[in-house]
Each structure stands twice: as C-alpha cells, then as structure tokens.
Amino acid sequence: MKIEQVKALINQHDIQSIDIKYSDLSGNWYHLGFPVAQLEHVMENGVPFDGSSVPGMRNVESGDMLLMPDLTTTIVDPFTRHPTLRMLSYICNAQTRQGVAKDPRSLAQRAQAHMVATGIADQSLWIPEFEFYLFNEAEIYNSNFAAGFKFTSAENKELLPFGYEDKDGTAVAHRKGYHIDVPFDKYADVRQEMVALIEQVGCPVRYHHHEVGLAGQQEIETTLVNFELIVDRMMYIKDIIHNTALRNGLTATFMPKPLYDEPGNGMHFHMQLRKEGKNVFYKKGGYADLSDEALFFIGGILSHGRSLAALTNPSTNSYKRLLPGFEAPVKLFFGLANRSAAIRVPSYATSEQAKRFEFRTGDGTCNYYFAMSALLLAGLDGIKRKILPTPENGMGPFDDNIFNWPEEKKDQLVSVPASLEEALQALQDDHDYLLEGDVFNTDLINSWIHEKTKDVVAVRNRPHPFEMNLYYNL
C-alpha cells in the first residue's frame, strides 16, 4: 500500500489517529499513536523511542532507536472507539534506519532473503492452526501469601461460571468436544465473528471449529499464505481473537496447557516451498509423494528439533502440553497422517499444489517471526547437508501410533525437551544453523536465552499450589 492509498483510507473512514505496533523478543505487542496530520513526517523521520525499555532489546547506554512504519501492513482498526488506522513497524537503528538484529520483523525479512539466496526456493507458504480456549471467567492471583487460578466455562458442567445454572441443559461432560455441534458449541457465532475480521485484514480462512477440549477450546486455520504476509497477519489474528472474545464477555488464552488433564493448545505449522511456481516438496512416486528436498527439509527440522523447541515452545507451560496421551508429539519423527509425529504429512493433500507437511510440536506462546524463521532455517540446513530421515536414524517415517510401542523401542527415538530449561540448553549447544545468512546472531540468541531463563527461575522459585496438597501437613 502506498501513501496515496493510505490517505484515501483516511478520507474514506474519517480516520483520526494512526496506531503503530512493534514486537518485543517474546512476541508481545507495543504501540503508540499519532494524529493523521503527522503521517508524512513519521514516514520520513520515523518515531524515536527508548529501546532499553523493551525487555531484551538494548542496553540503557545505547537505547535510542526508531520505529519506521510499514505502509503495506495498514488496516482499519476494528476495535478502537475512534476511527484509527493500524500498521506495523520496523525497529531500526537511529543512525542507519536499518532494521536491527533483534527486531522480529526484520529478522523474518532476512530469513526470506536467505531462502531466496540459497536458490532452493523463491516462495515459502504456510498454514498456521490457531488453537485457543474461550473461558467465561479467568481469575488469576499471585502474591507472597496467595497463589492460584480459576477458569469457568458455560460449555462444561464441571466448570460452570459463577451464578450460571445451565437451566437449558446445554453444558456437557464426559465426551470430547471435537466438531461438537450447536447448541453445545456455544461460541460458534463468536468464532465466525473472528473469522470475518480475519478475512477483512486480508488473510483467508480455511475453516474453524470446536476443538477437543470441552471447556470452550477452539481452532481457526488459514489457507496457504506467503511467509512474508502470514507472519504479520498472525499477529493481527491473535489480536482479533483476544479482542473479539472480550467484546463478547469472554476471555481467550493460547496457553499450551491452561487446564490439568485436558487437551492443550498447539500451534501447528503447515509448510511448503515453491520455486518458479512449482512445489519443491512434490515428487510423484516417493514416500507420500515427497521429493528428496522435502525429506531433507524434514530431516533438518527433526535433527535440530530439540534446539528449535526453545523458539517454538518457549514457555515453562509449553512442556506441560508435550505429554503422551493428548495427541501432543513428544518424539522427533515424521509419518503419513500420524498425529503422534512431530511432523505429519497430511494424507488428504495429494496434489502437487497441495502437497505439504505439518510441524505439530509448536505452541502459541512462540514469537511467530522467530519460530517460523527458525523452522525455515532448520529445513534449509537439512537440504544443504542432505539430512535424510530414515527409520534407522529414528526419524521415520513411522505410520503407526508410537505410544503403542514397547518402552524400549520408544526410548530409541529422540524426545523433545522435557522442560524449557532443557530446551534453552539445547539451543545453546545447537544454533549454528540459525546464524546462516545473518538471520539470527549470537547476541540475539544469548538475549533470548537470558530472557527466557528469567521465566524458568520465576516459576521454579515460587511455591506451587499443588505442593500444598503434597507437603503442607507433613
């Protein structure tokens, strides 16, 4: 979108303000606004800000940075009371006005450029699957003398909200929620409201439905979308889901495991590479009609799977989801239509245009820019080094449910890390593939490990409510 088109939007919608957003290392959004009269000045000069105030971004002695808006990301904000344009921005060096190494959007640009430079592909297409819970209430408290949480859901007889009596009998229990129909799928209209807004910001949706969790678990999945577009639109989608939930008296969470012994929320990524319009991953006659490049790409992701987890599953809560029994992949292998695999090849995607595979390990606490760039780099490294996944090296393909294997056979497969601390150590030990093309650098990786270790320490040092059950009366 050019500035003339932005000005046309301003006139068409009587826009009063422009809101620009940027992401920190963890994927949290920050924002600031300015009057529309300042647009040309801001596009020419940027907006200075203190980078040292954003966790992990910069030291106090070198804090001056610039926000440079990206007009191509402009949308009319669907949630503000006053007519507002929203656009994303790059975090730039104040002197050079180039995107800094730690700016997530600039990093994703470098990942795309590196892929093109390899000559392997000129296009990368992705489908993200957004899994999340919609709760009626979320009561959370943590202090020195009290800690706990309480979630409620009008869909589940065991989690009914305060004062809700389920007099129409539409709350259910003792069954799975997957594709459950209305009226038991109470928030189908809310999902449709989300989908309409998602498509309005230029991201086509493949489908949406109720997920397995009875306490309001949802899924929204896009179609195949270009990498450069989807990493930005995913930020908009997450924001749409949160704000639409609030507008309907609900609260949304992407936490991987908000409820004990209930299904967790993943963030599955479908991937496909193309070159000159042709699917690089397709070759008729191979395993699942996958090309050598596809197999090498899979091999790269699986061989770096333990260090990737530090970026695709970067929360302490992530590893409460990665447990056997909930269709959460805990072993690093691939297979056709296998939902116990870290990488599943969809059996329904049979044509050349559709052929792709799905990385199932990740979750929604990731920074999309970092996680998807890291997956791309790992796969390209697999092609570069010709890392072929085979049953002999434990990467598959395995098409049966490995949870039914004898323990000694399962133990021969490489496991995903069991904790964030373990994943961060794996990243410390294995990150050279992320440095290719100067996409990541060691300073960014060290900052990431430093910031995420704070989460590990914060959780580790606090008493857990269940410890009271175990030890209070000893």
Backbone angles phi, psi at 288, to 5 degrees: 55, 25
Catalytic-labelled residue, pool 77, 103, 131, 289: 131
Whether 129 is catalytic is yes
Residue indicated by tokens 């640009």:
109
Whether 81 is catalytic is no
Nearest to 89 by CA among 138, 145, 127, 49: 49
Catalytic-labelled residue, pool 103, 129, 363, 381: 129
Catalytic-labelled residue, pool 105, 110, 242, 268: 268
Catalytic-labelled residue, pool 155, 185, 219, 381: 219
Catalytic-labelled residue, pool 360, 363, 421, 431: 360
What span, in angstroms and rounded, lies between the C-alpha atoms of 112 and 274? Answer: 13
Residues near 119 by Cβ (< 8 Å), separated by ≥ 6? none
Catalytic-labelled residue, pool 358, 363, 421, 455: 358
- The CA-based diameter of the chain, rounded to the nearest angstrom, is 72
Catalytic-labelled residue, pool 103, 185, 211, 232: 211
Distance of CA 68 to the CA centre of its chain: 24
Whether 131 is catalytic is yes
What span, in angstroms and rounded, lies between the C-alpha atoms of 193 and 181? Answer: 17
Whether 219 is catalytic is yes
Catalytic-labelled residue, pool 31, 82, 339, 450: 339
Whether 360 is catalytic is yes
CA–CA–CA angle 319, 208, 126 (5° rounding):
65
Q: Two tokens at 297?
A: 């790409």
| Total Cβ atoms within 10 A of residue 291 | 17
Whether 199 is catalytic is no
Indicate which residues carry an active-site annotation. Answer: 50, 129, 131, 211, 219, 268, 339, 358, 360
